[in-house]
Amino acid sequence: MPYPELMVRPMREDLVRIGVRELRTAEDVRAFFADAAGASMIVINSVCGCAAGMARPAVALALQHAKKPDHVVTVFAGQDTEATAAVRGRFPELPPSSPSIIIMKDGQLVDYIARHRIEGRSAHDIAKDMTEVFDEIC
């Protein structure tokens, strides 16, 4: 059963406020991948503390970098279940992880920052991981 919208709205707004586009349905995800040319980042958002304290702040910091992806989108695990499954279905080799960050170039996986690379680290360190990849692909 998905989390109630009222509960997750503030967590969604953390990313939407900084310009991240939500993909709420499997159709939204299909449309995104049909036009994913260039550098892209997908944030799999979550209600957990490491999403609030580390992942979302890291995304905000990384998006202040001079080089950033052409497309930045998000799905919300635990609520947008079909959209999350559609993203995960594109990368069957990756273990499911919430939160997580997928960085791609022309639809191909470049980096995967899973929960184990988020937990226990600072938002600045996670953002540094992202911006190093941005410098290579953007």
From 11, 48, 75, 77, active-site residue: 48
Return the H-helix or E-strand segment holding 76. strand 71-76
**What amino acid occupies position 67?**
K
Per the annotation, the verdict on 138 as an active-site residue is no
From 18, 50, 52, 85, active-site residue: 50
Buried b (16+ CB within 10 A) or exposed e, 19-49: ebebbeebebbeebbeebeebbbbbbbbbbe
The total number of residues written for the chain in this structure:
138
Q: What is the DSSP letter of 55?
A: I
**What amino acid occupies position 45?**
N
* Residues designated as active site: 48, 50
